[in-house]
């Protein structure tokens, strides 16, 4: 259907969804790597702006059949992901000659060594090696140190529940800040992170592999070791010192071309991501480069990802997977192979390319952030599907929904809506539904989204990749972090949960609930009989309150729970884990608990149990209380009741009933052998369980169960990053956002406590109300610098025109002649004279590209037709000589939809042509990123960005076409630090006007809010500088915010100290705020901000109001942050 376009004189075609270096042959750039370990990660996400279920259904046909959902939920389309990777668990320890059992008493290494192999754990229950029968293990691994059976992953004979989150280092291009994300993940209780690498950034040109700067892997591996967290590759890949590597060419991840190097999309004639010989040649350097960087870091192991979002069918060529497998098997990598299926497609379980461990990706909530309270029901067939396809393997979810992307448009809700859509209630219901399916390996996408700066995003999304994730784009914790921590610390504390049989649920005959409105699933450990009843609303979208009693078995005796309080309560959109016969610490036992378990383990030889629950509900637990009780004074008699065992429970058990109204921390039992605590769930979320490192000579000293078995509880601070004990002194490091009461439960030998180096005065009276042994209470205050942070106004702007190309006299002799008549891009031109005007074919794939078409008019010419492809939300402006013709927008006149390409007729104004002389059509277009893979069409990343049709309305033909993108194209771009995606083809960018140190002497003074002179259409550069003097030991979040209302027809490319940190589309939105981190900003010096302002419509008010805004201040921080902002140089700019 054709529709009029308001900025040009004719029609617009609705878009279709289109699909110093070593080695003589390979320019391998990167620092020398010291032997240690390595392994990097990978992700996947379907193409981008999924506006409707119909779109999704069409896109996914044949790849994801419908899955079962609970009653009343609407059918939804799925997401199409797949990722193959190699799991490496030759656990580091072999070559290191390190045996944890020589250092730690086996009795203190429960199934825990498993979970602690990935993270800190507190449980100290022992697990003997013979609990895992060798005959039950997978024999497919090339190393005996990593195995799996039908229950879980097994490392060094120990079980592991892998609990992970996704983090893309390239979306946080400040390596000094990577430890911040790892420390926060560790503090939240996760035991691993999944990390993608990006072929397009690491392999920017044929024969070039670059691991410098933000592309490096070594800083990530080192930070992981220091944090005591494992870097996992989509599956459970582990390497030495918490490291692993990623060998993937395709990641999707809402990134341009899905991560494939741009040069490959035009230079490879064969089909991408198949066994085509030229595609095989294209990925070799990248894969071998990853192996070269990683091999020295591993200890007898490795763990590469092979590929992402792929299907096992003749169209996609499963032989491609087999080729990749051969590369890894012929290297020094020793791993089993795993795969994550985009949907329940049963791919790569058998047949060509079949892998050792199958996994499933799932995004059950969908991506409608505009209606965040409208839920889909939980998927109910996860368990049955697992039993059908791979019952002999552990149940693995390499990607489970942890947020949502957002798309272009003035009606886009922004990421706050996405954070509500996948908020704490979603985590409670949907995450626990995964647990109920008996999944034991889970990674959430995303944990931290970050920023798609420069040309990183694909065309469906904007600069922010906040994703509504657990941590914001600015790195702040959200309420999602509270719920994730409550879940993760329960898992860390519960090794019995790592080996469970799925017994039954309410749909298959489990008669456990007295109310059919409550849906229950029973999992049980076959060795200890510990049982886990996972409860939710039968209609998982329900917001009603449901009460019920549970018919359970405790120590072999039927019991109806709870005993004293009236019932178990489920709030709307709430799930719970109710345990029976649950062991904790050295020798303690919980008969049952309807309260949730936050922490269970041993602290200073005392068994510690920390329960929590909603303060508006009743809760109950029964346990055997041991030891000589101490005096304590904070148990409110009206809210906590003690009853001797009854109704089938042993008399030696004590039933502790918690009535609604409890707020704050309550000490339930305090003896020389046990400490039992209860708090409302919000108070519990203010507690942390940092690990105390082992001996300093141990490289694995920060890994729970391997290098240490010591932990403490710390309550109050916004974040606890680290805890260490020296003699009788406890040193804590972390962040505050306000003054708080500090509560520590630790060794009784502690006599002094410091916070970020400052001694904390103890409150002995308050401490005694928590415990008479091993408790410390004090007050933490903010530093003097905290309230003194201010940011300057952005003033003193200098201006210069940045579009000399529209002048008839402009000399384009040095530009590339666009004379190709063939292309490897499958979508061919619509019309013209046979020449191909696709930017990637000439080395210009990213950001802005300029075209100049020369012709000599006869006098009959009245207009030119141009079909332009720039991706969703693009724009292109056209001039004849220096006369503006119009702008073609990649969005409809009412911004109701987003177009990938347009077809416009531009009419020549009277007098615009110069008769019988050379005339020039100049087109400035914005490239919004290349397509991801669309279904089975793996060549859809070969996007025809450029001019797909050009025609004058007479018989006149064009002479020469010239093209210019970023200076140097992808082969010779000068800024190797910021990389291939940072710049576009604007004149000011090619000259380096955006870089710090460029002299604006001689430029005119003009405020950015004044727009371009004479309200003209065109491009101008605005540059200013400002100083920052932010005190050390503060973590300050800053953004650049466009404060004018949405609707003005302009684009602004925001450069901060040379880095393109934002693309503002003033007429489309939604993004107006662009977070920029320390490290890009110099918090103790001079900063340069440049804005390339593209006014797309003349004679209208365009007045950007850009301000530096303060988003958050935290006392503490991650430590010294290094800047790497090279100054302007003329080299390579001419």
**Residues, the chain:** 1134
Which DSSP string do the residues of 37-103 spell out, in sequence order?
Answer: --B--------S----HHHHHHHHTTT-----B-TTPPP-------EEEE---S-SHHHHT--HHHH
How many other CB atoms are there within 10 angstroms of residue 1032's CB atom? Answer: 11
Contact call for residues 878 and 906 (beta carbons, < 8 A): yes
Helices marked H in 197-296 — which ranges?
A: 199-202, 218-227, 262-267, 277-294
Closest listed residue to residue 619, CA positions, set 584, 666, 685: 666
Instruction: Find residue 611's DSSP bridge partners.
Output: 597, 678
Buried-state track 426-458, b at ≥16 Cβ within 10 A, e below 16: bbbbbbbbbbbbbbbbbbbbbbbbbbbbbbbbb
Cα 241 off chain centre by? 22
| Phi, psi torsion values for 321, nearest 5 degrees | -60, -40
Residue 1063, token pair as written in the block? 């693309």
Mutual orientation of helices 218-227 and 178-187 as an angle, nearest 10°? Answer: 30
How many other CB atoms are there within 10 angstroms of residue 277's CB atom? Answer: 11
CA 124/CA 110 separation, integer angstroms: 5
Our answer to whether residue 309 is catalytic in this structure is yes
Contact call for residues 578 and 613 (beta carbons, < 8 A): no
Cα 924 off chain centre by? 33
**Antiparallel, parallel or unpaired: β 1059-1065 and 1050-1056:** antiparallel
CA 991/CA 505 separation, integer angstroms: 66
Buried-state track 862-897, b at ≥16 Cβ within 10 A, e below 16: ebbbbbbbbbbbbbbbbbbbbebbbbbbbbeeebee
Contact call for residues 535 and 551 (beta carbons, < 8 A): no
CA 877/CA 387 separation, integer angstroms: 57
CA 524/CA 513 separation, integer angstroms: 17
Angle CA(176)–CA(180)–CA(184) in degrees, nearest 5? 165
CA 614/CA 584 separation, integer angstroms: 23
Contact call for residues 6 and 893 (beta carbons, < 8 A): yes
Annotated catalytic residue, options 399, 476, 620, 805 = 399
| Phi, psi torsion values for 114, nearest 5 degrees | -60, -65
Annotated catalytic residue, options 120, 254, 309, 900 = 309
Torsion, Cα of 136, 138, 139, 142 (10° steps) = -140
Contact call for residues 466 and 472 (beta carbons, < 8 A): yes
How many other CB atoms are there within 10 angstroms of residue 544's CB atom? Answer: 11
Contact call for residues 208 and 25 (beta carbons, < 8 A): no
Helices marked H in 818-937 — which ranges?
A: none
Cα 202 off chain centre by? 19
Residue 261, token pair as written in the block? 């190097």
User: 1010: burial class by Cβ within 10 Å (0-12, 13-18, 19+)?
Assistant: middle
Helices marked H in 676-815 — which ranges?
A: 681-684, 764-770
Our answer to whether residue 861 is catalytic in this structure is no
Contact call for residues 339 and 359 (beta carbons, < 8 A): yes
CA 932/CA 258 separation, integer angstroms: 5
Q: Report, as residue numbers or ranges, the catalytic residues.
A: 309, 399
């Amino acid at each position: 259907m054709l529709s009029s376009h308001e900025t040009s004189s004719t029609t617009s075609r609705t878009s279709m969804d289109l699909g110093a270096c070593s080695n003589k042959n390979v320019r391998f750039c990167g620092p020398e790597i010291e032997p240690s370990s390595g392994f990097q990660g990978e992700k996947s996400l379907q193409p981008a702006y999924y506006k409707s279920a119909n779109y999704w259904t069409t896109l996914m046909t044949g790849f994801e059949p419908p899955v079962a959902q609970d009653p009343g939920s609407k059918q939804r389309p799925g997401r199409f992901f797949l990722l193959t990777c190699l799991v490496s668990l030759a656990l580091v320890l072999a070559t290191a000659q390190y045996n944890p059992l020589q250092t730690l008493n086996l009795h203190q290494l429960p199934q825990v060594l498993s979970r602690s192999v990935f993270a800190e754990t507190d449980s100290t229950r022992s697990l003997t090696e013979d609990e895992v029968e060798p005959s039950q293990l997978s024999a497919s691994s090339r190393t005996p140190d990593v195995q799996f059976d039908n229950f879980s992953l097994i490392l060094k004979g120990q079980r592991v529940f892998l609990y992970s989150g996704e983090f893309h280092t390239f979306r946080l291009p400040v390596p000094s800040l990577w430890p911040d994300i790892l420390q926060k993940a560790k503090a939240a209780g996760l035991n691993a992170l999944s990390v993608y690498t990006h072929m397009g950034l690491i392999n920017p040109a044929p024969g070039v592999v670059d691991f410098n700067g933000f592309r490096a892997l070594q800083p990530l591996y080192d930070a992981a070791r220091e944090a005591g967290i494992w870097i996992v590759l989509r599956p459970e890949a582990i390497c030495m010192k918490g490291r692993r590597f990623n060998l993937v060419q395709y990641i999707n991840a809402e990134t341009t071309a899905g991560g494939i190097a741009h040069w490959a999309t035009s230079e490879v004639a064969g089909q991408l991501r198949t066994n085509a010989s030229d595609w095989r040649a294209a990925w070799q350097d990248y894969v071998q480069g990853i192996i070269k960087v990683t091999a020295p870091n591993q200890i007898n192991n490795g763990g590469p990802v092979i590929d992402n979002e792929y299907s096992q069918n003749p169209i996609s060529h499963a032989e491609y997977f087999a080729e990749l497998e051969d590369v890894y098997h012929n290297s020094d990598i020793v791993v089993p192979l795993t795969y994550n299926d985009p949907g329940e497609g049963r791919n790569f379980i058998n047949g060509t390319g079949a892998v050792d461990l199958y996994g499933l990706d799932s995004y059950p909530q969908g991506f409608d952030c505009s209606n965040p309270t409208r839920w889909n029901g939980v998927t109910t067939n996860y368990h049955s599907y697992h039993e059908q396809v791979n019952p002999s393997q552990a149940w693995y979810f390499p990607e489970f929904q942890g947020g949502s992307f957002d798309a272009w448009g003035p009606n886009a809700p922004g990421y706050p809506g996405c954070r509500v859509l996948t908020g704490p209630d979603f985590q409670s219901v949907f995450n626990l539904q995964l647990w109920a399916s008996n999944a034991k390996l889970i990674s959430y996408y995303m944990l931290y989204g970050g920023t798609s700066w420069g040309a990183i995003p694909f065309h469906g999304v904007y600069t922010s990749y906040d994703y509504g994730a657990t941590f914001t784009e600015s790195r702040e914790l959200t309420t999602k972090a509270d719920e994730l921590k409550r879940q993760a610390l329960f898992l860390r504390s519960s090794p019995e949960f790592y080996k469970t049989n799925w017994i039954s649920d309410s749909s298959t005959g489990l008669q456990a609930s007295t109310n059919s409105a409550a849906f229950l699933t029973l999992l049980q450990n076959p060795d200890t009989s510990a049982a886990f009843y996972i409860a939710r609303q039968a209609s998982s979208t329900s917001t009603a309150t449901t009460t019920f009693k549970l018919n359970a078995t405790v120590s072999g005796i039927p019991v109806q729970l709870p005993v004293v309080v009236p019932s178990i309560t489920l709030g709307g959109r709430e799930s719970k884990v109710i345990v029976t016969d649950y062991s904790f610490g050295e020798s303690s036992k919980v008969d049952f608990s309807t309260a949730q378990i936050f922490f269970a383990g041993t602290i200073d030889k005392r068994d510690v149990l920390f329960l929590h629950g909603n303060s508006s509900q009743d809760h109950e637990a029964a346990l055997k209380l041991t030891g000589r009780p101490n005096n304590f004074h904070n148990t409110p008699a009206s809210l906590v009741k003690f009853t001797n065992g009854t109704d089938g429970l042993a008399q030696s058990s004590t039933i502790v009933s918690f009535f609604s109204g409890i707020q704050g921390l309550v000490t339930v039992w305090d003896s020389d052998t046990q400490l039992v605590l209860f708090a409302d769930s919000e108070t519990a979320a203010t507690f942390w369980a940092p690990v105390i490192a082992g001996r300093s000579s141990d490289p694995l000293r920060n890994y729970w169960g391997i290098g240490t078995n010591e932990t403490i509880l710390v309550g109050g601070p916004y974040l606890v990053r680290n805890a260490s004990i020296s003699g009788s002194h406890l040193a804590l490091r972390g962040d505050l956002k306000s003054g708080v009461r500090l509560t520590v439960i630790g060794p009784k030998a502690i006599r002094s406590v410091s916070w970020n180096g400052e001694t904390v005065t103890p409150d002995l009276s308050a401490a005694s109300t928590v415990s008479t042994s091993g408790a410390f209470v004090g007050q933490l205050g903010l530093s003097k610098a905290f309230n003194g942070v201010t940011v300057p106004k952005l003033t003193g702007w200098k201006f210069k025109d940045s579009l000399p190309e529209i002048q008839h006299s402009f000399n384009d002799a040095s530009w590339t002649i666009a004379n190709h008549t063939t292309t490897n891009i499958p979508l061919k031109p619509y019309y013209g004279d046979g020449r191909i005007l696709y930017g990637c074919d000439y080395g210009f794939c990213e950001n802005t590209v300029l075209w100049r078409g020369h012709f000599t008019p006869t006098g009959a010419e009245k207009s030119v037709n141009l079909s332009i492809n720039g991706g969703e939300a693009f724009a292109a402006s056209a001039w004849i000589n220096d006369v503006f013709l119009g702008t073609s927008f990649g969005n409809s006149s009412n911004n109701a939809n987003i177009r990938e390409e347009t077809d416009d007729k531009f009419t020549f104004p009277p007098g615009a042509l110069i008769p019988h002389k050379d005339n020039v059509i100049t087109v400035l277009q914005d490239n919004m990123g290349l397509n991801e893979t669309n279904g089975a069409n793996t060549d859809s990343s070969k996007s025809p960005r450029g001019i797909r049709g050009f025609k004058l309305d007479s018989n006149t033909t064009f002479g020469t076409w010239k093209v210019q993108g970023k200076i140097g194209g992808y082969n010779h771009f000068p800024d190797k630090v910021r990389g291939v995606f940072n710049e576009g083809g604007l004149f000011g960018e090619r000259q380096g006007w955006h870089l710090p140190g460029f002299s604006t002497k001689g430029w005119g003074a003009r405020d950015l809010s004044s727009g371009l002179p004479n309200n003209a259409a065109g491009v101008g550069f605005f540059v200013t500088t400002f100083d920052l003097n932010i005190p050390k030991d503060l973590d300050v979040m800053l953004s650049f915010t466009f404060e004018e209302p949405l609707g003005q027809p302009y684009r602004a490319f925001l450069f901060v100290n040379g880095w393109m940190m934002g693309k503002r589309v003033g007429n489309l939105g939604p993004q107006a705020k662009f977070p920029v981190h320390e490290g890009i900003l110099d918090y103790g010096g001079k900063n340069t901000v440049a804005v390339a302002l593209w006014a797309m419509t003349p004679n209208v008010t365009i007045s950007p109001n850009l301000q530096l805004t303060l988003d958050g201040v935290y006392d503490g921080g991650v430590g010294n942050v290094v800047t790497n902002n090279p100054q302007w140089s003329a080299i390579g700019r001419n």
